[in-house]
Amino acid sequence: MIVYIEDIIISSETWEDHVQYSDKVPSKCIPVNLNISLKNSNFGQQELLALGHKVSGLGLEIAQNKVAAVPQKPVSRNIKEVQCFLGFASYYRNHINRFSHITSSLCKLCSKDVVFAINKERRDANERNKNEITTTIQVLHRCSM
């Protein structure tokens, strides 16, 4: 289950599990005065896009519309661009193998005492990040209520 502000997304592997999890939601919401609007609710969808992710019964993956522009993105030319790229990549860190290792040289560029310079190591890190984002892993999940 994913809860974000007023949205609740229930993901399950089988229809029976989905019904079981869905039945538990009102009992969790009522005691804390959360209302559920049936007219704004969708049930039984195979997959949906939410918060930059494709959510399905199998898990989460990065939405393809977010991934599409990544390969064309040029190497960052200044600290602001590095920070912007790191922010984007950090949002999807659960999908990127060895994220902190890959981004360490880019993170060092954002330190106060470091002179901004793109060298081979940082250019390679940028390319590895772009590659990892575009060949994303799916994060499997289970509903626990």
- Position 145 in a domain: no
Residue 31 pLDDT: 92
Tens digit of each residue's pLDDT (9 = 90 or more) over 20-60 = 988 888 888 889 998 888 888 888 888 888 888 888 877 78
Residue 80 pLDDT: 93
Per the DSSP assignment, residues forming a β-bridge with 56 are 47
Residue 137 pLDDT: 65
CA dihedral (12, 14, 15, 16) in degrees, to 10, reads -100
Total tally of structural domains belonging to the chain = 2
Can you tell me whether residue 125 is helix, strand or coil? Answer: helix
Can you tell me whether residue 64 is helix, strand or coil? Answer: helix
Which parts of the chain sit beneath pLDDT 50?
A: 143-145
Domain that residue 98 falls in: 66-134
- Does 6 share its domain with 45? yes
- Does 7 share its domain with 36? yes
DSSP-assigned states of every residue in 83-116? HHHHHHHHHTGGGSTTHHHHHHHHHHHTSTTS--
The tokens describing 144, both together, are: 């626990």
Model pTM score = 0.70
Angle formed by the axes of helices 99-109 and 79-91, nearest 10°: 160
- Position 140 in a domain: no
Residue 136 pLDDT: 66
Residues composing the chain: 145
Amino acid (1-letter code) at residue 50: A
- Does 74 share its domain with 37? no
